Structure 1
Amino acid sequence: MTNPTQDFIYHIGIVGNPWGDSEKQQWLTEQQIKRSYQDQVVTPLQQVPDTAEVVNYGTLDYSAFNLPVYSLFAVRSKNWQADKPIVLVTGGVHGYETSGVQGALQFIQEEFSRYSKQVNLLVLPCISPWGYETINRWNPKAVDPNRSFGAQSQSDEASLAMAFVRQHAGEVLVHIDLHETTDSDNSEFRPAKAARDGTVNHNWNIPDGFYLVGDTDKPEPGFQRAIIEAVQNVTHIAEADENGCLIGEKLAQFGVVNYPKRSLGLCGGMTDAKFVTTTEVYPDSPKASPEQCNAAQVAVICAGVDFALA
């Protein structure tokens, strides 16, 4: 388990004053494209299993910021059947969390056909493509998409994903949202958030290992436990800190904390799914490779669906 880095003052803005347009513009000019959404996400989607179809569900037009226009893609069961439950998988809500995107793509390639016989699958592998390219938590407007899944959303990424999911009639039985917790949460993203909001940042311990965030309103502990047990075969599970917490939250059970997803505007709260969880992979661990991180995401989806169907 890593120790929190020293709290520090972010380099943009004045302490205690929320950012205005000039500070947000300064922040935006510092962001750089570091990898290719087209090459690493769109191109792999050109070869999906025969049981799947790729759907363009919207466009993110950031040309007003002198940035690219991004097409958004989902993969769904080609033989969609109204009497089958829906399994929703979302990745890349925070674009910098790599295994959330790559794990979703790996699931499509390796496991999609097997589960499409039992459920209707709907996979949105990269909800925030600009965030993916710039390895960023926010969108170009300095808005966190994963606090924007609600009626008053300020994130086009979240709004387009919600609208697309709503088009699919039927019971959403399972929603698995694929994320990571990284060392950069302390070194960049939490200090930037505090500066943007005019608040004081206090870094937390970054857990060394995998954990889950269940939904406070429907925790489904057996579901979470089954996933943790499956992931243990792939990578290690995070231990609680000296206060019995992970990221400042009291442990609900080994490897699991709970958040009120809907009230916080989290992606995991956008449906009425009975079984909901958010993964948190730790890619900066010396004990976990990128391949293990991706495999852990796949293991979560498979174990979650298996439990729900059982």
Structure 2
Amino acid sequence: MIPAAYPIGTPGFAWGDAERALWLARQTRRRSYAADVLGAVERLRARFDASEYGRLDYPPDSYPLYAIRSRKWRDDLPCVLVTGGVHGYETSGVHGALQFVEQHAERYAGRVNLLVVPCISPWAYERIHRWNPQAIDPNRSFRDDSPAAESAAFMRLVAPLRDRFILHVDLHETTDSDESEFRPALAARDGQSFEPGEIPDGFYLVDDSEKPQPAFQDAIIAAVAKVTHIAPADRNGEIIGSTVVAPGVIRYPLKKLGLCAGVTNAPYTTTTEVYPDSPRATPEQCNAAQVAAVCAAIDFVLAVQQT
């Protein structure tokens, strides 16, 4: 249900410190980053290199940030980046990234260098939220002098390899809570009116409008369609307000918007969007869709390199 008015703030006025503090006080821990993510990373250590690339201190909590790498990293191989959990509430992004490493990463050994960051925003993961404790969206904050500690830490990690990545797959979800909570909260935070939208039923991708790769996106859609259904365009030929350029594909200017998928200079980039609230999809299917997208993306890039 879409709220008539967001319960924090005054319509027409952006939040100040008091409103942000009230919002923060409403957030509660609902799951464990240590158990769900760090535990999984620890189990993968026998087969992959895992290292801490930063730490988020949000008293009384402190969160180590982990990246997983190919064990035999080679300077002569192209680099592939997989990210999840930029938005902590997007569960299959986190678990899909971990499941990809567990089930498929080893078959790419000696072919690409893999860097997988499964949960960029652990505080938000635990609270099943989109923002960090300062009510900042990390996925609009991947830019110089980032206001989000999550985004800044990740950018420092990838900076030395920015020009070596050939591919970046960023794993996300679009949920019903986008309309019931997160978009109304965003409008309230910024002192704007909330205009209801439409949640697409199914999987879709966000290509980079500055350097589109239509054949690449189509290959991912074809692979994911074997696992779960693809979102149709709405009556306006759009998905979440953007023109559908191919079945299940829209485009954003990734770098301009400060999105995670625009952090590197990789020629092939995509943002996945799974719909976990569909009656036609299970949590297992959502994770599998993310895994299928990553595998299809890597396979496509490797095939192009061989031609």
Alignment correspondent of 2:35: 39
Sequence identity of aligned pairs in percent?
Answer: 55
- How many positions carry a matched residue from both structures? 303
2:299 aligned partner, one-letter code: D
What is the match of residue 66 of structure 2? 73
Instruction: Select the residue among 173, 187, 212 that pairs with 1:194.
Output: 187
What's 1:215 paired with?
A: 208
Residue equivalent to 2:81: 88
Matched, 1:130 2:123: yes
Aligned to 1:229: 222
TM-score (norm 1): 0.96
- Of stretches 201-210 and 182-191 in structure 1, the one that deviates more from structure 2 is 201-210
Deviations for 1:40-90, whole angstroms, at most 9, x for unmatched residues?
A: 000011111655110100000111xxx310000010112111111110000
Q: TM-score, normalised by structure 2?
A: 0.97
Residue 138 of structure 1: how far off its partner (Å): 0.1
Of 225, 228, 233 in structure 2, the residue corresponding to residue 240 of structure 1 is: 233
Structure-to-structure mapping, 1:114-193, within 5 angstroms:
114-168=107-161, 171-193=164-186
Partner of 2:272: 279
- 1:205 maps to which of 198, 201, 210: 198
Gapped runs of 5+ residues in structure 2?
A: none
Task: Check whether the contact 1:51–1:79 (CA below 8 A) recurs between aligned residues.
Answer: no
1:283-305: CA deviations, max 9, x gaps?
00000000000000000000000
Aligned counterpart for 1:294 among listed residues 287, 292, 300: 287
Answer yes or no: is 1:29 the counterpart of 2:22. no
The aligned residue for residue 267 of structure 1 is 260
Shift of 1:8: 2.8
Partners of 1:8 and 1:191 within 8 A in 2: no
Q: Which amino acid aligns with 1:83?
A: D
**Which residue is 1:15 aligned to?**
11
Gaps of 5+ in 1: none
1:55/1:74 contact within 8 Å kept = yes
User: Which runs of 4 or more aligned residues in structure 1 lie more than 2 Å from their structure 2 counterparts after TM superposition?
Assistant: 5-8, 167-170
Q: Which amino acid aligns with 1:12?
A: I
1:227-250 per-position Cα deviation (integer Å, ceiling 9, x unaligned): 000000000000000000000111
2:24/2:133 contact within 8 Å kept = yes
Cα shift at 1:7: 6.4
How far has the Cα of 1:112 moved from its partner? 1.0
- For residues 46 and 147 of structure 2, the distance between their equivalents in structure 1, rounded to whole angstroms, comes to 36
